[in-house]
Amino acid sequence: MAVYTEVSDDDLAEFIASYDLGALLSYKGIAEGVENTNYLVHTEKGPYFLTLYEKRVAPADLPFFLGLMEHLAQAGITCPTPVRDGSGRMLRELAGKPAALVTFLEGVWIRRPQARHCWAVGQAMARLHLAGQSFKLARANALGLAGWRPLYASFRSRAEEVAPGLCAIIEQELDHLEANWPADLPRGIIHADLFPDNVFFLGDALSGLIDFYFACNDAFAYDIAATLNAWCFETDHAFNATKGQALLKGYQSARTLTGSERQALPLLARGAALRFLLTRAYDWLHTASDALVSRKDPQEYLRRLRFHRGIRSASEYGLEDPA
Amino acid sequence: MAVYTEVSDDDLAEFIASYDLGALLSYKGIAEGVENTNYLVHTEKGPYFLTLYEKRVAPADLPFFLGLMEHLAQAGITCPTPVRDGSGRMLRELAGKPAALVTFLEGVWIRRPQARHCWAVGQAMARLHLAGQSFKLARANALGLAGWRPLYASFRSRAEEVAPGLCAIIEQELDHLEANWPADLPRGIIHADLFPDNVFFLGDALSGLIDFYFACNDAFAYDIAATLNAWCFETDHAFNATKGQALLKGYQSARTLTGSERQALPLLARGAALRFLLTRAYDWLHTASDALVSRKDPQEYLRRLRFHRGIRSASEYGLEDPA
């Protein structure tokens, strides 16, 4: 949680003046956001969200991210929509950083999701998958299967600091996943980071999806697997099959899973658990305990990984038989 | 800059429901604010500012601060106005902390103030002094003359780490100020922390004063002296008499200085410079260089103090002779 880059009143007033939004009324640096600097900006036309992209986002990826948000918004997905300036540009520069202004979405994220929220996020994800099919740009999943072994190699020498025995578990898992990863699943644009803090609700109604900075092209069912991991475990680490069933039902209310996707789900869930285990372990080892950013516990995903290893069929996640 | 206390969506929705503001639409933790946790909250009735008071604010002072803001707002001073809940309470509790909801003021603070901004802040300060005269509560200035020697004593053993020779300068200054401090100046409610980041503008028009958490009863002219220190020095540390003149003219457009205030101004300016030198030196020694809060340079106020020592009359600040 941090504002990494300070923007002066003069610079921002000039920046806002290049849009058709009236005058700048106020702006506040937002504490949320691990990767980028965010400001909530009020203009005469309403509230907007300003992001300055810091070093963890590759500038070359920004046309993909901004183009995707605009494409999805035009296709009816409620997500932040990049605002174009008087010259038609979405991507700008401010205070020496790449910057973009997007629409502000009302809504709050749910700290304790219930089954009805899982249903809603499942449906929204399926709609996103469908809407993304007509998007022309593509981006490889840097944190997909091919990226896991190099990521692991970068911290292997210190991995046992995270949990004793972690090296053996990860290596065994990588071998298994690489040998069995399904190659021919339906694929397209996925969100790839659909955690509760990236999904807004107004009351029980889902009001929007945010944070598309991990979006990429990969298997739709992998996105489902990651989202099951993120939404359907309780704080005591137990899987909640009612929530899993709701999420999968919500998804299938908009897009029906294929047979190969149904079959692959347990393996994909293992992969998704490993992906978050790896990035959290990396961050854990590379973040000072007193840093600005709070560290997320890697152990949580080690437990989820162990759970998925015991799953034999997607019905154990609550997936119902095809009608 | 930090959010010290996280508030959950459920807790905040319930909190907002106890006001007559419609439903909670969104809330974002604000990065600004060294002392407290602040959220910008959107409700169906508009934007509001939520503050959770952290340990540096004494709970016993909160009725004074909130009562003062309400009093000043009713007297026509543009400042955040505490909102009363359905039971008429301004001071509440949320997430285990004292909490208050206040109106949100549009406006931005000016990073590079010009003379016209100094004029405006001078006038607003005088209006605040006048409006405060009918306020019934009182609060001693914990960071006034009587507080400086104990504050200094608390870090004397490490003071030379801040600047070589600092002990001698501070002790000499304390002796001089205690021997010469004027006892009979006009007094009342002062803001006591009217730095540029606590004054909002929309274009060139002052749109509001914020952050009343140092407000107290003390000499009006001491508030002027502190504000001269905060607004009228350039980044190269030179005093800008044009800005000083503008600030004092703006002040006198609403309230005329007495002869004793005019005479006392150079001494009060020394005192105000010492006050900020002491608190910044204390914070400098008690804040890790990599902490969440950025440290403000104490040297800046050592230079100002030296400047004020050379001043013989308030005319050198730009104060014009009485008509």
Cα B93 from chain centroid (whole Å): 24
Residues of B in contact with A109 (CB under 8 A): 9
B292 contacts on A by Cβ (under 8 Å): 292
Q: What band does A289 get if pLDDT is binned at 50, 70 and 90?
A: low
Is the pLDDT assigned to residue A300 strictly greater than 90? yes
Q: Which residue of B has its CA nearest to A290?
A: B291
Share of chain A above pLDDT 70, in %: 97
Q: Tens of pLDDT along B64-103? A: 999 999 999 999 999 999 999 999 999 999 999 999 999 9
Please answer whether residues B159 and B170 qualify as being in contact, where contact means their C-beta atoms are separated by less than 8 angstroms: yes
Q: Is the dihedral of CA B82, B196, A2, A32 positive or negative?
A: positive
- pLDDT in the model for residue B291: 55
Q: What is the DSSP letter of B60?
A: G
Over range B205-231, report the average pLDDT. Answer: 97
Q: Distance between CA A247 and CA A123 in Å, rounded?
A: 8
- In whole angstroms, what is the distance from residue A307 CA to residue A299 CA? 13
pLDDT tens digits, one per residue of A206-233:
999 999 999 999 999 999 999 999 999 9
Query: Reduced to 3 states, what is the DSSP secondary structure of residue A322?
Result: coil
Q: Is the pLDDT of residue A1 over 60?
A: no
- Are A112 and B10 within 8 A, CB to CB? yes
CA distance A16 to B70: 33
Pairing of strands B97-103, B46-52: antiparallel
pLDDT 10s digits, A69-116: 999 999 999 999 999 999 999 999 999 999 999 999 999 999 999 999
pLDDT beyond 70 at A292: no
Total Cβ atoms within 10 A of residue B109 = 17
Which tokens go with B38?
A: 């602040």
Torsion angle, alpha carbons of B62, B64, B67, B73, to 10:
-110
pLDDT value of residue A130? 98
When pLDDT is cut at 50, 70 and 90, the band that residue A41 belongs to is very high
Mean pLDDT, residues B95-122: 97
Using an 8 Å Cβ cutoff, are A100 and A38 in contact?
no
Contact B43, B25 (CB under 8 A): yes
The predicted-structure confidence for B32-67, as pLDDT tens digits, reads as follows 776 899 999 999 999 999 999 998 889 999 999 999
Q: Which residues of A touch B200 (CB under 8 A)?
A: 26
Predicted local confidence at residue A250, as pLDDT = 98
Q: pLDDT per residue over A230-269, tens digit each? A: 999 999 999 999 999 999 999 999 999 999 999 999 999 9
Q: What is the pLDDT of residue A294?
A: 63
Instruction: With CB atoms and an 8 Å threshold, state whether A29 touches B31.
Output: yes
- Cα separation of the two ends of chain A: 46
Determine contact, residues B260/B322, Cβ cutoff 8 Å.
no
B30 interaction partners in chain A (CB closer than 8 Å): 28-31
Residue whose structure tokens are 């955690």: A195
> What distance lies between CA B181 and its chain's CA centroid?
21
Cβ of residue A28 closer than 8 Å to a chain B Cβ: yes
Residue contact A32–B27, C-beta within 8 A: no
- pLDDT for B1 equals 47
Q: Is residue A291 over pLDDT 70? A: no
Does A235 lie at the interface with B, CB-CB under 8 angstroms?
Answer: no
Q: Please report, as a single letter, which amino acid is at residue A145.
A: L
> What angle is formed at CA A143 by the lines to CA A141 and CA A148, rounded to 5 degrees?
130
B2 vs B245, residue with greater confidence = B245
Over residues B212-217, the mean pLDDT reads 96
pLDDT of residue B180: 97
User: Apex CA A209: angle with CA A220 and CA A207, to 5°?
Assistant: 125
Residue B43: both structure tokens together? 């409700």
CA dist A270 and A283 (Å) reads: 20
d(CA B50, CA B19): 13
Instruction: From A282, A285, A247, select the one nearest A126 (Cα to Cα).
Output: A247
Q: What are phi and psi of A14, to 5 degrees?
A: -65, -40
ipTM, interface predicted TM-score of the complex: 0.89
Is B174 buried (19+), middle (13-18) or exposed (0-12) by CB count in 10 A? Answer: middle
Strands B205-209 and B187-190: unpaired
What would the mean pLDDT of A262-285 be, rounded to a whole number? 96
Sheet containing A46-52, strands listed edge to edge, beginning at the edge strand earlier in sequence: A24-29, A37-43, A46-52, A97-103, A92-94
> B88: alpha, beta or left, given left = phi > 0 and alpha = psi -120 to 50?
left
Q: Sort residue A208 into left (φ over 0), alpha (ψ -120 to 50) or beta.
A: left
Among candidate residues B231, B264, B258, the one with its CA nearest the CA of residue B246: B231
Cα A263 versus chain centre, distance: 24
Q: For B146-172, what is the mean pLDDT?
A: 95
Which pTM was predicted? 0.91
pLDDT by residue (tens digit) across A116-161?
A: 999 999 999 999 999 999 999 999 999 999 999 999 999 999 999 9
Instruction: Report residue A47 as tokens.
Output: 């509230």
Which residues on chain A are in Cβ contact (under 8 Å) with B31? 1-3, 28-31
Question: d(Cα B210, Cα B199) in Å, to the nearest integer?
Answer: 6
Interface contacts A/B by beta carbons within 8 Å: 89
Give strand pairing partners of B217: B140, B189
CB contact under 8 A, A106 and B26: yes
Tell whether B17 lies on the interface with A, counting CB pairs under 8 A: no
Q: Largest Cα–Cα distance in chain B?
A: 61
Q: How far apart are CA A169 and CA B96, in angstroms?
A: 41
Least reliable range by pLDDT among A24-33, B93-102, B299-308: A24-33
What is the rounded CA–CA span in Å between residue B174 and residue A303? 62
Residue A20: CB atoms within 10 Å: 11
Q: Name the residue in chain B with its Cα closest to that of A104.
A: B26
User: Of A127, A95, A124, A129, nearest to A107 (Cα)?
Assistant: A124
Question: Is residue B136 less than 8 Å (CB to CB) from chain A?
Answer: no
Q: Chain B contacts of A29, Cβ < 8 Å?
A: 1, 30-32
